[in-house]
Structure 1
Amino acid sequence: MTSSEPRSNREPAQHPPGTSASASGIDGTATHRPKKILVVFYSRGGRTRSVARQLADMLGADVEELVAAGKRTGRLGMLRCVIEALAEIRPRISGIRHEPSAYDIVVVGSPVWAARVSSPVRTYLCRYASAMPRVALFCTMGSSGAEQCLGEMGALLDPHAEVIERDRFPAVALDDGDFWSETRGRRKLRKFADAVAAIPVA
């Protein structure tokens, strides 16, 4: 089993890239420095990417999209994903641009593959667990397996990183054209983003 590193892209937010808005005291002055947040994810079909980019925009975070060696499209690609997930394979990932230890909080997102974490995210978590003191986790899934996936992600980080928040986003909802409306998907995303942003850092 091998491992390596990924890529990233970031869309501008209203505050400096990689930082969430700082908290303010009763007189309106900042009570602590802005948090530096990184959103890391792997996406095979685009759903996890959609969630990750929305979260990054809400958090003013930098983005790291994992790029893994090997083809994972089509039926054979899906079979490969399942085999790698069940066999706990760690594929090579390349082009990492952000050092996770430079951030206060790292948000990691993965699709659910056979009730397991995706293999590229497994590689990342195993490689950088000791570099991420605070981590928030999310996953996207077609049906079931979210709790098992999130549990596995947490286990890969233990005992190095503290998991501060976790959530799941069903694919059936993500495929609904109304999901991203303020009254549905964005409300769920906002709740998760607010929980992450509220975590105190030194």
Structure 2
Amino acid sequence: MRAIVVYYSLEGHTQYIAEEIAQCLKADTLALKIAKPYPKGKMARMFWCGKAAVFGEKPKLAPYEFDTSQYDVVILGTPIWAGSHAAPISTFLEENNIGGHKVAIYVCSGGGGTQKCFNQLENKWGEAIATLSLINPNKQTYAEDRSKVEAFCKAIQESI
């Protein structure tokens, strides 16, 4: 099985879990970066990121390399913004045809909106082979999340 974890992380939570999943599955990673960064101030960032999610914006991404033919499984990782996935994920999905691939999704949130996010992403290509929802994961809290991440990875392995 050849897998890649494609993710966008604004504050590092989604990146941290991407690295843990990649290690567990021996998968590649692709960190999406936007060409023009979001504002740094907490309130301004919340406004712009929430607006981008609500209005379905597709920000220009910094250059990246991705070849769908190299992978059997694409694992998408995103923070939850206004009950939706991060806008850079929309750009990635528009630029890349991952239809025909098995897809798994994990989300990191401050506390909610995960099912709506899963539904939105699954509507783009079909049911995910595995889903995972974590609340603000980091190195200090990872012991609590480890079993969820391991179960997510096992579900992916078993679906191949």
TM-score (norm 1): 0.73
Q: What are the equivalent positions in structure 2 for 1:185-196 lying under 5 Å apart?
A: 185-196=145-156
Task: Let me know the Cα RMSD of the aligned residues.
Answer: 1.6
For residue 96 of structure 1, report the CA deviation from its aligned partner. Answer: 1.7
Unaligned runs of 5+ in 1: 1-34
2:19 aligned residue: 53
1:86 aligns with 2:54: yes
For residue 130 of structure 1, report the CA deviation from its aligned partner. Answer: 4.1
Q: What are the equivalent positions in structure 2 for 1:23-102 lying under 5 Å apart?
A: 35-72=1-38, 73-74=40-41, 75-102=43-70
The alignment covers a number of residue pairs equal to 158
For residue 77 of structure 1, report the CA deviation from its aligned partner. Answer: 2.3
The residue identity in structure 1 corresponding to 2:26 is G
Question: Cα deviation per residue 1:152-200 (whole Å; 9 max; x = unaligned)?
Answer: 1111224xxx5211111111xx2572x222xx22111111011111122
The residue identity in structure 2 corresponding to 1:152 is Q
Residue 80 of structure 2 aligns to a residue in which SS? strand
1:7 aligned residue: none
Which of the numbers 135, 143, 149 marks the counterpart of 1:170? 135
Kept after mapping to 2: 8 A contact 1:139/1:167: yes
1:109 aligns with 2:77: yes
Larger radius of gyration: 1
Identity of aligned residues (%): 25
Residue 40 of structure 1 aligns to a residue in which SS? strand
Kept after mapping to 1: 8 A contact 2:74/2:98: no
Unaligned runs of 5+ in 2: none
TM-score (norm 2): 0.91
2:92 aligned residue: 124
Kept after mapping to 2: 8 A contact 1:106/1:132: no
In structure 2, relative to structure 1, the CA distance for the partners of 1:191 and 1:130 (3 Å cut) is closer
* The structure with more helix, counted as a fraction of residues: 2
1:199 aligns with 2:151: no
**Take 1:37 and 1:95, find their aligned partners in 2: how far apart are those partners?**
21
Answer 1 or 2: higher relative contact order, Cα 8 Å, separation at least 6.
Answer: 2
Kept after mapping to 2: 8 A contact 1:100/1:131: no
Question: Cα deviation per residue 1:74-119 (whole Å; 9 max; x = unaligned)?
Answer: 2222211011100001111122223123200010000000001110
Kept after mapping to 1: 8 A contact 2:108/2:134: yes
Residue 166 of structure 1 aligns to a residue in which SS? strand
For residue 123 of structure 1, report the CA deviation from its aligned partner. Answer: 1.1
